Chain A
Amino acid sequence: LAKTTQPISMDSYEGQEVNITCSHNNIATNDYITWYQQFPSQGPRFIIQGYKTKVTNEVASLFIPADRKSSTLSLPRVSLSDTAVYYCLVGVYLLGGYNKLIFGAGTRLAVHP
């Protein structure tokens, strides 16, 4: 079971780049790395997913080193609306094609004016 470890909380200011690193030392060959974002009183929302190297979309970038034992979510120029909990997940791939996602405690990002 690939357990993830990420900082409990982070603080930043508007306009700064935020990097949240997650460690997943026991990641399996089949596992993808996925990040979700959750605002208060809402369900988690998919941000980005990757397997190796770098992935970029309109919201964030995901950097994954060659050994895949860690990953870094990068949020460019954050705003107050980026204040949320960010979850790093590694799917547990079971027989039959089931990819079970295990949510950890997440990282509480607070963006200040």
Chain B
Amino acid sequence: DAGVIQSPRHEVTEMGQEVTLRCKPISGHNSLFWYRQTMMRGLELLIYFNNNVPIDDSGMPEDRFSAKMPNASFSTLKIQPSEPRDSAVYFCASSPRLAGANTQYFGPGTRLTVL
């Protein structure tokens, strides 16, 4: 399996622009997670989906952030409008099962820089 695929790997944009990050989870996994990592705050869970349905979005920082999962093989995280403080590495992870001792498989991340 190719693992979790994220695109783009790097994104540089200007403040106010819309940013869309993409994720393809591992085939057969029914849970998907979006994380953000910064030096100051570490690794934070933003939102998680189970069977394409958003279950917990309590980590989404504000209304500028939105996430969708239209099908089992694709998810997007959108920031509109972007701000410099959104600069971070965004990881997508998927898991083969929801309940119990789950194991998450992380993608390579998207490094976002907002100027």
Contacts and interface: CB of A to CB of B under 8 A. Distances in A.
Interface of A: 32, 34, 41-46, 49, 51, 87, 91, 96-106
B93 A43 contact: yes
Interface residues of B, number: 24
Contact of B99 (A41, A97, A106): A97
Query: Which DSSP category, helix, strand, loop or mixed, fits chain B's interface?
Result: strand
B42 A32 contact: no
Nearest to A51: B101
A101 B101 contact: no
Contact of A105 (B42, B98, B99, B105): B42
Contacts of B99: 97-99
B21 to A, nearest CB: 13
Interface stretch (B11-19, B62-70, B77-85, B106-114): B106-114
Interface of B: 4, 35, 42-45, 48, 50, 55-56, 91, 93, 98-109
Contacts of B93: 43
A26 B105 CA distance: 26
A43 B109 contact: yes
Nearest to B98: A97
Contact of B56 (A32, A44, A98, A103): A98
Contacts of A98: 48, 50, 55-56, 98-99
Given A98-B55, A98-B98, A42 B43 contact: no
